[in-house]
Chain A
Amino acid sequence: MDGVDVISAETASASEVVAVGGSKLARSRRWRVRLSPVRWVRGGGLSALVFALPMLAIFTAFSWYPIVRLVVLSLQHTNLIDPPTWAGLDNFREVISDPLFLTAVKNTAYFAGLALVFGYPIPLVAAVLISESRRLRGLYSVLAYLPVVLPPVVGVLLWKSVFYEPSRVGLFNTVLSWFHLGPYGWLQSPGTAMPALVLESTWANAGTTIIIYLAALTAVDRNLYEAASVDGAGVWRKIWHVTLPQLRGVLLVTLMLQIIGTAQVFIEPFLFTQGGPANSTLTVLLLVYQYAFGNSVGVGFGQAAALSLMLAAFLAVFSVIFMRLTRSWSTT
């Protein structure tokens, strides 16, 4: 349709020129003037550039240049005071040989894995149930999404200073004491600290996934359910053979988004535990932060950049491989 418009516009202006000039000469002159600045301005080239200027300036300054700078920084020794010197792959070597690197990678993978166990099936079950309730759908969606709009700092501080309070009067410990359990130091022991972070993070983020599933569920063709029940399928078989296959595309997307999101976990370990106890909640981005701003600002910028770059590269490669592998299963 676009092509047709362009062609008709072209022929219109060409016939105009022919009408004015009346010869081949006019056409060739038109070709020449088209390349001139005046013609460029009249043709909208200047206004397009003016409109694009804010975007180009902001993205160059705060997106494209920093991406290049990240790569450069990872190859330099820098401390913000002395002029930087080239370091080759020293920064990468230092990061990889740092024993904390392996800890951080393992912890981040653990966080992502636990977040999948908690956070992947629950929103799906909730969304399927919510979509079946026609009267209360709106209410359910609003309630499920409410934790998402809370500032993460408020969520974390609330859970930390009240829910996970390690003494008997912590909210969770109070509830557990009714069953003669506890008190537990949720964030104080290396074994429970990470699951505790994942629990809060799942509470804070599940709403988005539920809303995405609900939107996808409205697109499921309801006639398929009717057809399935005519064929004698029960509820479970309908979920298995109709709902899940129809959601396949969305399920894959949320899986990828969740893994990418949890690989970047920062604020929970930063505010809950500062990576402790015994580095059991030290994640990759927290390590980046510690390299860059931990002891004295600027000394570890090279290592921080190298580690950031490795994370970004990992996520990019992961997304590409994931999309390649799942392309044939996806419905969209």
Chain B
Amino acid sequence: VIGVRLRRRGEAEPTPGLIARTDWARPEVRWVVGGAQVLLLALVVLIGLGPVVWLAKGAVTPTIDTLRNPLALFPHGVAWSNLSDAWSSVDVGRYFWNTIVLSVGSWLCQIIIATTGAYVLSVLRPAWARFVTALLLGTLFVPLVVLIIPLYIEIVHPPIIHHSFAESYWAIWLPAGASAFNVVLVKRFFDNLPRELFEAACIDGAGPVRLFFTIVLPLSKPILGVVSVFAILAEWKNFLWPYLVLANSPDRQPLSVRLPAIQAQTQLGVLLAAMLIAALVPILGFLIFHRTFLRGSSLSGALKG
């Protein structure tokens, strides 16, 4: 803790960056750097925020105004009705609920698999753990999309059970759990927890179950946060798999699968409102948990390296 505090305090001081402190005294350096900073800010706002802000504007602009001039700012007032039309008349409310159910189920499945799996591989370490770890690392090399065909056949004609899972949410929840990336990520976190704690707990008579729930899980909140936000975001963004396995039950499809169909059904303003509703949860979630998102994003780069 002290080390972290020291580092934070160190960051607050002006550390020498690319531009030396002596160079900052020269006016032309300050002008060039200042200009580059303003340009960067303008570009980042325009590119990162611009499309989102435009989407929000388009969602409450009458379709006819958007079609006439996409850059005009509410020439004939605001059409809040787009949002209510989208919510009720094209059933976005229902698809929104479907998306939540799908995301929460996938999240639960991923968390259970990642924590129990990593606990076995990192803490309990039976003799066969090495073999499973090697298999998981090998699985990391297989991109998920190339398994779409065998997975689809397995869901529609499962072996042993002989009852199709297509059109059911289990077809999305269960395969979501098979994320080798999650297990490896959580395992690496568990690997760095102090072994002494586990030994102390064992000496105090805690069994593997108690150890898992009272020591390991409470200590791993940071990594569980990272896995959680990415699990929910991934399911919210998911398109191809739900599009395939829920193809014949439009009532059960999530928003991202329905949006292309909504585009064919309705006018542009209502479509944009539906898109804004679909984007709202990830955007708000990101703004609230941005630290977790950004840490997780850099973690994934480090892990894959």
Query: Residues of A at under 8 Å CB distance from B?
Result: 1-2, 5, 44-45, 47-49, 51-52, 54-56, 58-59, 61-67, 69-70, 73, 80, 126, 128-134, 136, 140-155, 157-159, 161-163, 165, 169-171, 174-175, 203, 207-208, 211-212, 214-216, 222-223, 225-226, 229, 235, 238-239, 243, 249-250, 253-254, 257, 260, 264, 266-267, 270-271, 285, 288, 292-293, 301, 304-305, 308-309, 311-312, 315-316, 319, 332
Contact = CB atoms under 8 A, between A and B. Distances in A.
A156 to B, nearest CB: 9
B20 A169 contact: no
A203 B51 contact: yes
A165 to B, nearest CB: 8
Nearest to B293: A145
Given A47-B124, A126-B40, 7 more contacts: A63-B142, A70-B150, A142-B286, A153-B260, A158-B275, A169-B67, A308-B149
Given A69-B150, A226-B16, A292-B149, A149 B297 contact: no
Identify which of B49, B51, B120, B285 gathers the most chain A CB atoms within 10 Å of its CB.
B51
Given A149-B293, A150-B282, A152-B239, A222 B143 contact: no
A118 to B, nearest CB: 12
Nearest to B20: A229
B149 A304 contact: yes
B4 interface: no
Identify which of A143, A149, A159, A212 gathers the most chain B CB atoms within 10 Å of its CB.
A149
Contacts of A145: 48, 286, 290, 293-294, 297
B271 A61 contact: no
A52 B116 contact: yes
A215 B301 contact: yes
Nearest to A55: B117
Contacts of B272: 158, 162
Nearest to A167: B67
A131 B298 CA distance: 14
A332 B305 contact: yes
Interface residues of B, number: 106
A80 B52 CA distance: 43
A52 B117 contact: yes
Contacts, number: 302
Interface stretch (B84-92, B132-140, B217-225): B132-140
Nearest to A249: B305
Contact of A64 (B52, B139, B244, B278): B139
A48 B124 contact: yes
Contacts of A270: 240
Given A51-B124, A59-B180, A250-B305, A146 B156 contact: no
Interface string B61-89: 00000111111000000000000000000
B2 interface: no
Identify which of B67, B149, B152, B286 gathers the most chain A CB atoms within 10 Å of its CB.
B149
A47 B141 CA distance: 30
A243 B272 CA distance: 43
Given A226-B20, A253-B305, A69 B153 contact: yes
B45 interface: yes
Interface of B is mostly: helix
B155 to A, nearest CB: 9
Contact of A54 (B113, B141, B236): B113
Contact of A66 (B44, B151, B263, B290): B151
A208 B296 CA distance: 10
B180 A63 contact: yes
B37 to A, nearest CB: 6
Given A151-B255, A171-B70, A66 B260 contact: no
Given A49-B126, A301-B149, A260 B282 contact: no
A212 B298 contact: yes
Given A174-B70, A222-B17, A151 B37 contact: no
A126 B44 contact: yes
B232 to A, nearest CB: 11
B259 A153 contact: yes
Given A5-B195, A222-B15, A312-B142, A267 B154 contact: no
Contacts of A49: 126
A163 B54 CA distance: 10
Identify which of A142, A175, A260 gathers the most chain B CB atoms within 10 Å of its CB.
A142
A309 B142 CA distance: 10
Interface string B244-262: 1000000000011101100
Contacts of B124: 44, 47-48, 51
Nearest to A227: B16
Interface in B195-228: 195, 199, 207-209, 212
Nearest to B29: A235
A144 to B, nearest CB: 5
Given A215-B301, A253-B304, A150 B283 contact: yes
B145 A264 contact: yes
A267 B242 CA distance: 13
Identify which of A141, A207, A260 gathers the most chain B CB atoms within 10 Å of its CB.
A141
A289 to B, nearest CB: 8
B282 A147 contact: no
Given A153-B239, A154-B259, A67 B149 contact: no
